[in-house]
Structure formats: C-alpha cells, structure tokens
Amino acid sequence: MADKPKVAIYWMTACGGCDEAIVDLNEVILTVADAVDIVLWPVALDFKYESIRKMEKGEIALSILNGSIRNSEQEEMAKVLREKSQIVLAFGACACFGGTPGMANFRSKEDIFDWVYKDAPTVVNPNNNRPQPEITVNGNTLTLPRFYERVYPVDDIIAVDYYLPGCPPPPDLIANAIFAVLEDKLPPRGATLAPGKPLCDMCPRNTSKPTRLEISEFKRVHEIEADDDLCFLAQGILCFGPATRSGCGETCIRVNTPCRGCFGPVDGVDDGGAKFISSLASLISAESEDDARRAIDGIPDLAGYCYRFTLPSSSLKRTT
C-alpha cells in the first residue's frame, strides 16, 4: 500500500459530472484502484483535509482538480494540493477555462446575491439575510468560505502541469492521462492531454460540409428538425466545431446536437470565442449592411454562446 503512488481527486465549483466521469471508467477503474492509493476524493470517499495538510511536500503523485475556483475554501485546498503534489491536472472545462459556472463573470457578485437572496420569485427573505463569512452564535464563531467577486480557472490561482478539458472529459482520455502518469509517459509540462486539431477535422459530418458555407438565417435546434447527417453550419445551426479542440469522441454530434465548445480552443489559440466570431463572420452570407444585421440579430446571446465554457479565461476577463 505504502509504495503505490498517491492520487488526490478534488472538486471545487463543479457539478459532480467530472467525478462521475472517473467512475465511468468502468472496469478500468479497478486497474487504477489497484495501481494507486487514493488519498482524497470528497465525492466518493471519506478523507479529511487535515490528513492532506500533514503530508510532506510532493508526497502526492497526482492531484486531479475539477471545477473552477470561486471561494476561499477552494483556493486554500487548491494551494494545499499544489504544494503536496508532484503533478496537478486541471480536469474538465471548469478547471481548465472556468466552465459553465464561469458565465457568472458576466455579472457582479452583488447581482448574483441580489437575485439568489432577494429578487428570485421563489425567495422569501423578509429580513434580507445574506450569508456572512463569519458570525457569532451563543458565543461560538461560525465561519463560511468567502464568496469571491468572480470565478477563476485553476491556473489563475496555482500552477497547473497538465490540462484535460471536456464537460466532462471522456473515459478514454482520462484513462490515457492516468496511465501516462503511472507509466511516466507524459508530454512536456503545460500540455493539454487531448488532440490539438479542431473538432471539424474529426467530425463524421465533415464530408457533408459544402465548399462554401453561406448562412443567411440562423436557426436554433428546437426550431427545425435537424438532418442527422448534414453539417450543422450548413443547416444554419450554430456549431462550435471550427473553434473547438477535438478528442471528445464527437458524442454530441452523434446524437444530432451541435458542438458547444466544452473542449476549449485548439492549440495556439487563447481566446476561442473571439476566433469563433472571426470564422462565423465569414460564414454569414450578407453583403448589404441590413442583411448582415438581420442575420446577426437572429443569434440570441452571442456572448454567452461564444464563451459558454471559457469566459474566465477569455482575453477580456483573464486576470493573469
């Protein structure tokens, strides 16, 4: 037991889907469980933070962090795990880029608290109570983690060695990543453990894409019955494939759903949303100003669409 490499799995601002994805390794997880000693996995096993704090520097071989960082407890644990780990893997879209919870960065903390504790129609809060980081009750001090002004991707807070994007990452890439660590076959630090090419290159519908895409009117998936063999963009449906890293196994495309971009930008691109806007502009068929405006006005919440998974790490919102 003592000789096995130690692995910590930790969740922060996450939905639990990333932990679920690790369980979805199915029988492979038995091999993993035999090969490593799991020392922390809050969603599945009962370990205490204190035992991690008592560890030596670098005692943990691999820390798999999923979720973005929005409060002081998450920041503290991320820093503890960084100190105790030889390798930190940012696991899933939230850890890598901020993810869906990162869209909260379009609003201020005050806006969010106002809605959650006052304005939402289902809220009854006549005394306008708000969570306090510290409060004294009967002489005892109770504390809560501090809720930050914004959501951070993990690498804004600690150094990250490898990235594995996805919402959640697919089992084959998870297994590859874990065995690469165990067998010491990792690429240079800083690498993303997924292919560098865009999804369109791998898409089963790529051959149905016309040489020149010309979209004059955008449609949403519920507005038409999408052809299940034809390129989504050729049908006027927004698909993030041109600006998204491949490696997901095209699971959404195979169930007739366009790509949403959970694998983040391709190699060499920092701001996938901005690049998508550039490529989208060239697909819109409109030479007159009015036609261009009409087509573009047909896209609801373009910013939310372009930065669905990457807002905290976008050029305009990044803090580092």
Partner 1 sequence: MKDFTPKLICFSCKFGWGYLNGEGWNGTIHNLIPVTCSGQVDTTHVIDAFREGADGVLILGCSDKECHFQTGNYQARKRVFLLHKTLEKFGIEPGRLRIELGLDPDGSRIPVIMEEMKETIKDLGPLLPTV
Minimal distance in Å, beta carbon 276 to partner 1? 9
Instruction: Pick between residue 17 and residue 198 the one whose CB is nearest to partner 1.
Output: 198
216 binds partner 1 (CB under 8 A): no
Question: Shortest Cβ distance from residue 123 to partner 1 (Å)?
Answer: 24
- Smallest separation, CB 280 to partner 1 (Å): 6
Indicate the residue among 263 and 307 with the shorter CB distance to partner 1: 307
- Choosing from 20, 119, 149, 228, the residue that interacts with partner 1 (CB under 8 A) is 149
For the chain, what is the HEC assignment?
CCCCCEEEEEECECCCHHHHHHHCCCCHHHHHHHHCEEEECCCCCCCCHHHHHCCCCCCEEEEEEECEEEEHHHHHHHHHHHHHEEEEEEECHHHHHCCHHHHHHHCCHHHHHHHHHHHCCCCCCCCCCCCCCEEEECCEEEECCCEEEEEECHHHCCCCCEEECCCCCCHHHHHHHHHHHHCCCCCCCCCECCCCCEHHHHCCCHHHCCCCCCECCCECCCCCCCCCCCCCHHHCECCCHHHCECCCCCHHHHCCCCCCCCCCCCCCCCCHHHHHHHHHHHHECCCCHHHHHHHHHCCCCHHHHHCCCCHHHCCCCCCC
Nearer to partner 1, 20 or 270 (CB): 270
Give the pair of three-digit tokens for residue 141.
């001090």
Nearer to partner 1, 14 or 280 (CB): 280
Cβ contact 245:196 at 8 Å: yes
Using CB under 8 A as the binding rule, the residues of this chain from 283 to 302 that contact partner 1 are 284, 286-287, 289, 292-293, 296, 299, 302
Label residue 247 left, alpha or beta by phi (over 0 means left) and psi (-120 to 50 means alpha). left
CA dist., res. 307 & res. 285, Å (int): 23
Residue with tokens 């998450």: 74
Looking at the Cβ atoms of 165 and 273, the one nearer to partner 1 is 273
Stretch that binds partner 1, among 8-16, 62-70, 260-268, 311-319 (CB under 8 A): 311-319
Question: If you search the block for the tokens 């996995």, which residue do you land on?
Answer: 41
Q: Which position has the token pair 């084959």?
A: 172
**Region 231-250 residues binding partner 1, contact defined as CB under 8 A:** none
Q: Judged by CB under 8 A, which of 70, 205, 245, 275 binds partner 1? A: 275
| 63-122 binders of partner 1 (CB under 8 A) | 105-106, 108-109
Kindly state the smallest distance separating residue 58's Cβ from partner 1, in Å.
35
Residue 186 within binding range of partner 1, rule CB under 8 A: no
Q: Any contact of residue 220 with partner 1 (CB under 8 A)?
A: no
- Give least dist CB 277 to partner 1, A: 5
Give the count of residues interacting with partner 1 (CB under 8 A): 30
Q: Is residue 213 a contact point for partner 1 (CB under 8 A)?
A: no
Among 271, 309, 310, 313, binds partner 1 (CB under 8 A): 271
- Residue of 82, 84, 150, 245 that binds partner 1 (CB under 8 A): 150
Nearer to partner 1, 109 or 220 (CB): 109
Name the residues that contact partner 1, by CB under 8 A. Answer: 105-106, 108-109, 149-150, 271, 273-275, 277-278, 280-282, 284, 286-287, 289, 292-293, 296, 299, 302-304, 306, 315-317
